[in-house]
Amino acid sequence: MSISMYLASVPPILRVLTNLKAILEKAAAHAEAKKIDPSVLVNARLYPDMLPFSRQIQIATDTAKGAVSRLAGLEAPKFEDNESTFQELMARLDKTIALLATFKPEQIDGSEDRTITLPMRDKTLTFKGMPYLLDYVLPNIYFHATTAYAILRHNGVEIGKQDFLGKIS
Q: What CATH number is given to the structural domain containing 103?
A: 1.20.120.450
Tell me, yes or no, whether 143 lies in a domain. Answer: yes
Tell me, yes or no, whether 103 lies in a domain. Answer: yes
Tell me, yes or no, whether 32 lies in a domain. Answer: yes
Contact 60, 17 (CB under 8 A): yes
Tell me, yes or no, whether 137 lies in a domain. Answer: yes
Closest CA to 92 of 62, 137, 50: 62
Alpha-carbon distances of 45 from 40, 48, 63, 70, 138, rounded to whole Å:
10, 6, 20, 30, 22
Tell me, yes or no, whether 98 lies in a domain. Answer: yes
What is the pTM assigned to this prediction? Answer: 0.95
Tell me, yes or no, whether 68 lies in a domain. Answer: yes
pLDDT digits (tens, 9 = 90+) for 27-71: 999 999 999 999 999 999 999 999 999 999 999 999 999 999 999
Instruction: Tell me what the pLDDT averaged over the chain comes to.
Output: 96
Tell me, yes or no, whether 42 lies in a domain. Answer: yes
Tell me, yes or no, whether 59 lies in a domain. Answer: yes
Q: Residue 55: what pLDDT?
A: 98
> Based on the structure, what is the number of domains in the chain?
1
Q: Residues 155, 158, 159, 161: what is their CA dihedral angle, to the nearest 10 degrees?
A: 100
Residue 119 has pLDDT above 90, yes or no: no
Query: Domain range spanning residue 45?
Result: 5-109+116-159
